[in-house]
Structure 1
């Protein structure tokens, strides 16, 4: 006899900060959403690309888990291209499975505003893994299923009361390292495998790149990341987890 899988996500978690809600359909498509409150925005007022990557990763990950059932999955790579800075208060994600193989599942996620304006597109692949006792149970259904990951601290309708996503993750700068940023491993960023959630990794990488560009130009301007291409080499389970960057060209 095995214990029931633990509840996921924990009470304080990056998905709850997004007020993440999703509907998965039996044709392996889904629609999800996030509320882009002040805690998910940069100094310029635009939505952090790390938050958008978290939305895309969670949407695709849920679909991939259904497609891989009874197995489980881990993100192999994530690519996100934005059409421009995102100002929408609510972002919608439409996910679909492009390829469903025995060892890998490939998906695409289209991002749009709640008014229907296109914001960006993400593509991801997931490795299919043997199921472990601690993995959540995801079972395909002949009907649509919905899930809501909302705050559990009384701030359901008060996004302004939440700390910024960088503070919640615990992101801090590393002195004397170009684009050096780091964070500890906490429940806030954990995924179903006990490692850092893919969107949190993206947030770390995006901040590293933006800091490196600002340092290399010596400018007081604010630089925002518009594209992400991430390959996940291994599971980050022990902190601190660090990122650094190399600026190859400024034009």
Structure 2
């Protein structure tokens, strides 16, 4: 293993980066402040058809959007306050690639637009997202320096654990939702449940209540309303209505160990989506 790979492994083992390291994203900061990210299409991140799970797309959108908005806020840093992902296709070849840019920097918030592509399929567009982050003063060193301009920074190593992502997260599903136990590996640097993990939890809950197979998520809107710090974290889903091609679901995410505090509200559509 090279020195660079060891550094990336060690970074991915730090609290707040273990989930990022498990998924194995790569990020590239550009001189204009925009950020490109990649995520390989691996069996442990895919559904039964071999396409990348939409929840993993939401995860890398959260990561690239969080980085691009965080860099715009330095010396402060950010937490995601809302994420809206709309899909028009599936990542079937890979890697998935996102292009994130800041569209507004306000005093207390930063908003980004993120385009999503299947790079291996002639850069076919598969989705678009917007993400808004709240600006906060961190009690840790803002990680902007870890992403120098022009350097492609990877998380994880070639020997990434091949356990399916939902199993690795400890996701458990019921007819009406999904849950997971909170542990350091799936928290962000603030010590709260990673926004990308919340997206994967909401995805599983939406599919469970509809009865759809993994990978049937079409759109996902998540609004983060309070930190999830204790656990277990439970996502309870309910069907709002059905349309010809999909079912619309509302999801409440609560921190059971914190008196059932509401931590996120999500709306999702679940239904078959053409790969192309």
Under a length normalisation based on structure 2, what TM-score does the superposition of the two structures give? Answer: 0.77
Question: Can you give the 5+ residue segments of structure 1 that lack an aligned partner in the other structure?
Answer: 1-6, 215-219
Residue 135 of structure 2: aligned partner: 128
Deviates more, 1:69-78 or 1:38-47: 38-47
Q: 1:224 maps to which residue?
A: 216
The answer to whether the Cα contact below 8 Å between 1:8 and 1:192 also exists between their aligned partners in 2 is no
The residue number in structure 1 matching 2:3 is none
Q: Contact between 2:28 and 2:149, CA under 8 Å: does it hold in 1?
A: no
The answer to whether structure 1 residue 155 and structure 2 residue 159 are counterparts is yes
Aligned length: 230
Provide the residue aligned with 1:104 in structure 2: 109
CA contact (8 A) 1:135 1:193 kept: no
The runs of 5 or more residues in structure 2 that have no matched partner are 1-9, 244-276
TM-score norm. by structure 1 comes to 0.84
Between structures 1 and 2, the one with greater strand share: 2
Match of 1:188 in 2: 185
Mapped to 2, the partners of 1:240 and 1:135 lie a distance apart of 28
Q: More relative contact order in 1 or in 2 (CA 8 Å, sep 6+)?
A: 1
1:84-114 Cα distance to aligned partner (Å, 9 max, x none): 2331331111110000112100001111111
Instruction: Report the Cα offset of residue 32 of structure 1.
Output: 0.9
Q: 1:63-212 maps to which residues of 2 (within 5 A)?
A: 63-114=68-119, 115-132=122-139, 134-139=140-145, 143-151=149-157, 155=159, 162-174=162-174, 178-212=175-209
Moved over 3 A (4+): 139-143, 220-223
**Helix, strand or coil for the counterpart of 1:54?**
helix
1:4 is matched with none
Q: CA deviation at 1:167?
A: 0.6
